[in-house]
């Protein structure tokens, strides 16, 4: 790929020694390249992302997921040559206002020096002041080492058919539980996209990665099946799978160098959290606030009661009928 930017000044280059250190410690890389110093639990989260190829992050709201996801996928594009990644949101506007806005917020010289630009723009694309390209259906960030990060606007209601030709090394699906609740786009299209060749597919860093990020839901939610499949691999001791979860209470009393305040004072906004908690039921808040996949008692019947009814039906070989058409199909009627 041709890069239409001048050479990097010596002071802003990532040397061989720095590159080796950054590959082993992404938290150090985030501090040096982006100027972002993470709290202890955020550092642990980034290391899970970095060293584990399949991660589900079920952390609660206000726990700083988005910035760590942004650091993770950009570091992979910067440090791994010819690396291509993509970040998907259910709504394209959310990608632009939450994830992509960090390209405007983080403007350290060494990071800006790593950004490149495609030699040719696609129809409708324009180079933005944040160093990335903005198109009507996809945002793109190019890097000097040949890496590329995409922020597409997929049609999940059509099972993400617009992504059929994409090949990736790193796939991130934000708010994946909402996607699973509305379509089968992750299974039918997105997982298959993570098949781009890499230097070593068996290596924990160089191998292709898939990250799902969203706060937890109840066990009756359609997304619970994927989480349980992940958990079975974790329980079996598969080192390439991890399920993690943090909450706003994990912000610590460590001091931020930037502000001098503690991380708790800086990022744990108690009034906002309290207002959010007052609008949720106990089970809902356990999911949204603390990232717990709990049982649901909302509605006419509890989850345990529904599960028992299903078990009773299977034991008696009862076939449920919910429509006249299904009744006619079961009984062979025309």
pLDDT band at 156 (very low <50, low <70, confident <90, very high): low
Which comes out higher in pLDDT, residue 59 or 304? Answer: 59
pLDDT band at 1 (very low <50, low <70, confident <90, very high): very low
pLDDT at 158: 59
What the block records as the tokens of 192 is 């298959």
For residues 168 and 191, the answer to whether their CB atoms sit within 8 Å is: no
State mean pLDDT over 255-276: 89
- Radius of gyration of the chain, Cα coordinates, nearest whole angstrom: 22
**Could you report the per-residue pLDDT of 100-139, keeping only the tens digit for each?**
999 999 999 999 999 987 767 777 788 888 889 998 889 9
pLDDT at 80: 96
Q: Where are the alpha helices (DSSP H) in the chain?
A: 16-24, 26-34, 40-51, 65-79, 92-94, 102-105, 109-112, 176-182, 185, 191-193, 224-235, 263-267, 270-278, 282-290, 303-315, 324-330
pLDDT band at 297 (very low <50, low <70, confident <90, very high): low
| Average of per-residue pLDDT values in the chain | 87
Distance CA 50, CA 87 (A): 16
State mean pLDDT over 259-270: 91
pLDDT band at 333 (very low <50, low <70, confident <90, very high): low
pLDDT band at 244 (very low <50, low <70, confident <90, very high): very high
The pTM for the full model equals 0.85
**Could you report the per-residue pLDDT of 184-200, keeping only the tens digit for each?**
888 888 888 899 999 99
pLDDT at 2: 44
Domain segments of the chain as ranges: 10-281
- Angle subtended at Cα 233 by Cα 164 and Cα 167, rounded to the nearest 5 degrees: 20
State mean pLDDT over 300-328: 70
What the block records as the tokens of 195 is 């098949």
The percentage of residues in the chain with a pLDDT greater than 90, rounded to a whole number, is 59
CATH number among 3.20.20.70, 3.30.70.100, 3.40.50.300, 3.30.70.980, domain 10-281: 3.40.50.300
Residue 271 exposed, middle or buried by CB count within 10 Å (0-12, 13-18, 19+): exposed
Distance CA 145, CA 159 (A): 32
State mean pLDDT over 69-80: 98
pLDDT band at 203 (very low <50, low <70, confident <90, very high): very high
């Amino acid at each position: 790929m041709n890069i239409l930017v001048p050479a990097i000044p010596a002071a802003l280059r990532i040397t061989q020694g720095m590159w080796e250190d950054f590959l082993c410690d992404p938290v150090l890389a985030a501090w040096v390249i982006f100027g972002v110093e993470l709290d202890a639990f955020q550092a642990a989260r980034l290391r899970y992302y970095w060293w584990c190829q399949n991660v589900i992050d079920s952390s609660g709201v206000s726990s700083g997921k988005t910035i760590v996801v942004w650091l993770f996928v950009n570091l992979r594009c910067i440090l791994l040559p010819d690396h291509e990644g993509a970040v998907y949101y259910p709504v394209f506007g959310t990608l632009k206002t939450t994830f992509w806005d960090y390209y405007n917020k983080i403007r350290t010289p060494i990071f800006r020096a790593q950004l490149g630009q495609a030699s040719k723009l696609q129809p409708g694309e324009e180079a933005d002041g944040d160093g990335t390209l903005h198109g009507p259906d996809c945002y793109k960030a190019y890097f000097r080492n040949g890496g590329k990060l995409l922020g597409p606007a997929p049609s999940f209601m059509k099972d993400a058919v617009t992504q059929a030709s994409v090949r990736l090394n790193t796939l991130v699906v934000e708010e994946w539980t909402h996607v699973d609740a509305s379509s089968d786009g992750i299974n039918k299209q997105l997982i298959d996209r993570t098949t781009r060749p890499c230097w070593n597919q068996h290596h924990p860093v160089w191998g292709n990665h898939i990250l799902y990020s969203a706060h937890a839901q109840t066990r009756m939610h359609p997304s619970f099946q994927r989480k349980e499949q992940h958990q079975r691999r974790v329980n079996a001791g598969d080192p390439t799978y991890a399920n993690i979860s943090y909450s706003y209470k994990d912000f610590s009393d460590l001091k931020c160098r930037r502000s001098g305040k503690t991380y708790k004072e800086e990022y744990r906004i108690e009034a906002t959290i309290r207002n959010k908690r007052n609008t949720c039921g106990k089970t809902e808040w356990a999911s949204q606030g603390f990232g717990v996949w709990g049982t649901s008692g909302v509605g006419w019947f509890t989850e345990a009661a529904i599960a028992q009814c299903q078990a009773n039906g299977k034991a008696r070989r009862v076939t449920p009928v919910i429509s006249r058409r299904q009744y006619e199909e079961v009984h062979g009627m025309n």
